[in-house]
Amino acid sequence: MAQGTKNLTGALIIGTPIIVVVSIFALVLLFMTGGSASAACSGGVGTADPDNVPEEPVAGYSGEQLQNAALIMNAAVPLGLDRQAQVIAVMTAMGESSLRNIDFGDDVNGVTNPDGTPTCSLGLFQQQWCIGSWGTKEQVMDPTYAATQFLTRLAAVDDWTSLEPSIAAHKVQRNADPFHYEKFFDPANQVVTALAGGGGCTGTGAIQFPLSEGYNMTSGFGPRSISVPGAPSWHAAVDLQHWPSPCGDQIYSISAGTVTYKAGYQLTVKAPEGWSVSYLHMRMDQVSVDVGDTVTAGQPIALVGNEGPSSGCHLDFRINQIGSADQAVLSLPDAVSLGSPARYAGFVHPEEFYELFGMELCPPSSCERQ
């Protein structure tokens, strides 16, 4: 649990004075510098099945902990909150209770409220049932209720989406250390990704998958043997599709960005970092954005089609590093360096691109390679 966490509205709980002074100073610096890009971790929201969590640990969390994370994630959906809220909520519960619905709190360590009274923190978020505003003892021990309480208050924080995740959580929890939750951000992101199959968050924001979970990879990146007229033998992309009914599947933008090209059977979106993503083989009347439009990560942008050189409905998915300000993306080998024709300069292996974000584009648990 978080030492010094009291969940008292409008009151900053005082722990060790030196720590508080340092944290406040760091908080001032954060606002003076505008925060870091890791605050921008938005994207499409996904639900999770608490009865069907991974058997293997995720970021060190397993079993009951993952079930509780799933319940926390699902509480965001009826509130209309996005993936960013899910990650912050799971992160907070990690910092408060290690995702265990514990029936004790800071009082066992002698922590008291500012007025000297014992604390009464319980549950995943260590909410104080005895002060009334968080609910009854039974309610704060209900994972869904507790998560809903946290998320409702998070949504009421001014500009919470632009704050550092730990600061946003602190605005609700009132921890003695505003940065207490920072170390739980990456594990929370991994857990949310594993449970929902959604996008991951990095220092530059969110990245999503282009199709919903369960797609297959029908053609890889690089040289290939193919008999489809007009289709290149050097493939600067990967082909993805659901089987057996891929036609009309929703395609999602994998990142925020601006639409820079829409013609024929291709749509291209340029990310703020400068790299571009192209989606191919759609019918233009089934593309829902236009050149100049800004899109968000996870936004529906088109439907899977069978236009151009193609033997069936699928998504040709390709990423180009030219113009990227992200050195990690620029460090990826491009197609030309791997032996492609010059016209494929800048195109990088989409799977290697996803690895930069700690994600698998074609995870063995849900994606077959054909």
Token pair of 334 as six digits:
């491009």
Same domain, 229 and 197: no
| β-strand pairing of 315-320 with 276-280 | antiparallel
Sorted by sequence, the CB contacts under 8 Å of residue 193 that are 6+ apart come out as 199, 200, 359
Sorted by sequence, the CB contacts under 8 Å of residue 141 that are 6+ apart come out as 101, 103, 122, 123
Give the residue from 186, 211, 179, 213 showing the smallest Cα distance to 41. 186
What b-and-e string marks burial along 359-370, b requiring 16 or more CB atoms within 10 Å of the CB? bbbbeeeebeee
Same domain, 231 and 331: yes
Which of 206, 229, 253 lies at the terminal end of a domain, its last residue?
206
Is residue 270 in some structural domain?
Answer: yes
Is residue 361 in some structural domain?
Answer: no
Token pair of 107 as six digits:
């009082």
CA distance 79 to 66: 21
Same domain, 42 and 21: yes
Output the domain CATH number for residue 292: 2.70.70.10
CA angle 240-243-249, nearest 5°? 65
Highest mean pLDDT among 7-21, 73-87, 311-325: 311-325
In terms of residue numbers, what domain contains 294?
216-355
What average pLDDT does the structure give for the chain?
83
Same domain, 229 and 300: yes
Q: Where are the alpha helices (DSSP H) in the chain?
A: 17-33, 64-76, 83-97, 137-140, 143-155, 165-173, 185-196, 327-330, 350-355
Same domain, 127 and 181: yes
**Torsion sign, CA atoms 74, 79, 83, 84:** negative
CA distance 91 to 22: 22
Token pair of 276 as six digits:
């571009």
> How large is the average pLDDT for residues 135-141?
88
Residue 165, preceding peptide bond in cis (omega within 30° of 0): no
The pLDDT value recorded for residue 114 is 58
CA distance 285 to 265: 10
CA distance 21 to 130: 29
Amino acid at 138: E
Same domain, 199 and 221: no
Is residue 12 in some structural domain?
Answer: no
Amino acid at 350: P
3-state secondary structure of 287: strand
Sorted by sequence, the CB contacts under 8 Å of residue 203 that are 6+ apart come out as 36, 37, 38
Same domain, 81 and 197: yes
Q: How far apart are the first and last CA of the chain?
A: 46
Is residue 142 in some structural domain?
Answer: yes
Give the model confidence (pLDDT) of 265-308 as tens digits: 999 999 988 999 999 999 999 999 999 999 988 889 999 999 99
The backbone region for 137, taken as left when phi is positive above 0, alpha when psi lies in -120 to 50, beta otherwise, is alpha
Is residue 360 in some structural domain?
Answer: no
Same domain, 271 and 193: no
The pLDDT value recorded for residue 186 is 85
The pLDDT value recorded for residue 46 is 67
**Confidence tier at 109 by pLDDT (50, 70, 90):** low
Same domain, 171 and 269: no
> How large is the average pLDDT for residues 316-334?
93
Same domain, 229 and 167: no
Q: Is 31 exposed, middle or buried (0-12, 13-18, 19+ CB in 10 A)?
A: exposed
Cβ 284 vs Cβ 297: under 8 Å: no
CA distance 216 to 205: 26
Query: Alpha carbon 48 to chain centroid distance?
Result: 14
Helix (H) or strand (E) holding 131: none
Is residue 233 in some structural domain?
Answer: yes
Which of 206, 233, 255 lies at the terminal end of a domain, its last residue?
206
Percent of the chain with pLDDT over 70: 81
Which of 170, 188, 206 lies at the terminal end of a domain, its last residue?
206
Same domain, 253 and 324: yes
Is residue 285 in some structural domain?
Answer: yes
**pTM score, whole prediction:** 0.50
The pLDDT value recorded for residue 118 is 66
Token pair of 369 as six digits:
């390679």
CA distance 302 to 266: 10
Same domain, 30 and 138: yes
> How many domains, in total, are found in the chain?
2
The pLDDT value recorded for residue 197 is 55
Is residue 338 in some structural domain?
Answer: yes
Helix, strand, coil % over all residues of the chain, rounded to 5: 30, 20, 50
Is the pLDDT assigned to residue 13 strictly greater than 70? Answer: no
